Amino acid sequence: MTDHTTTGRPEHLRGLHAGLERAAAERGLLDVAYRIVDSPVGRLLVAATERGIVRIAFELQDFDTVLQSLADRVSPRVLEAPGRLERAALELDEYFDRRRTSFDLPLDFRLTGGFRGEVQRLLPGIGYGHTTSYAELAHAAGRPRAFRAVGTACATNPLPVVVPCHRVLRGDGSLGGYAGGLDAKRALLRLESA
């Protein structure tokens, strides 16, 4: 896999990249900025538009595929610009260090819509350290029989961790699925229960 981090580049390439990032931002040519952050659940790609965080992806989702999807669905003007995501990286670090229980980041929900979007907007209402079931979330969304659609909404959540779909479990208390893998879901739930 391609390493997208600037830290692994020689000094002269970091300087060139920083200049490119600055010039793109000054000329309004940077529509999607991204950076890679390390976390206890693996490396995460965090991408943002001017509206807010638009995508968070786990490494197993293939960062190159995610970046191509952002280029196709949002704008082809995508560039690694870690400075634009400093606040997001800081809040994620605080969360993983158990110093933050909710996020104060602006979010861009353009990659979702309809009932999925409605469900995803309900997810931050599930308190830190708490869980709910797909059926309970379907009821909260006003469609009590749509628990499978709620599962799909969680599975397609473009903003995992920050929009906490990991807090949704099956009715019997088992984990269900998770875009980052079940080990990541377990780790997030353990982190929040400690």
Active-site residue numbers? 165
DSSP string, 99-118: S-SS----B--TT--HHHHH
* Distance of alpha carbon 9 from alpha carbon 14, whole angstroms: 6
Closest CA to 123 of 146, 151, 86: 151
Q: What are phi and psi of 40, to 5 degrees?
A: -65, -15
* Distance of alpha carbon 144 from alpha carbon 76, whole angstroms: 39
Q: Are 46 and 92 in contact (CB under 8 A)?
A: yes
Q: Are 90 and 82 in contact (CB under 8 A)?
A: no
Report the DSSP beta bridge partners of residue 55. Answer: 47
* Distance of alpha carbon 88 from alpha carbon 71, whole angstroms: 21
Q: Are 62 and 32 in contact (CB under 8 A)?
A: no
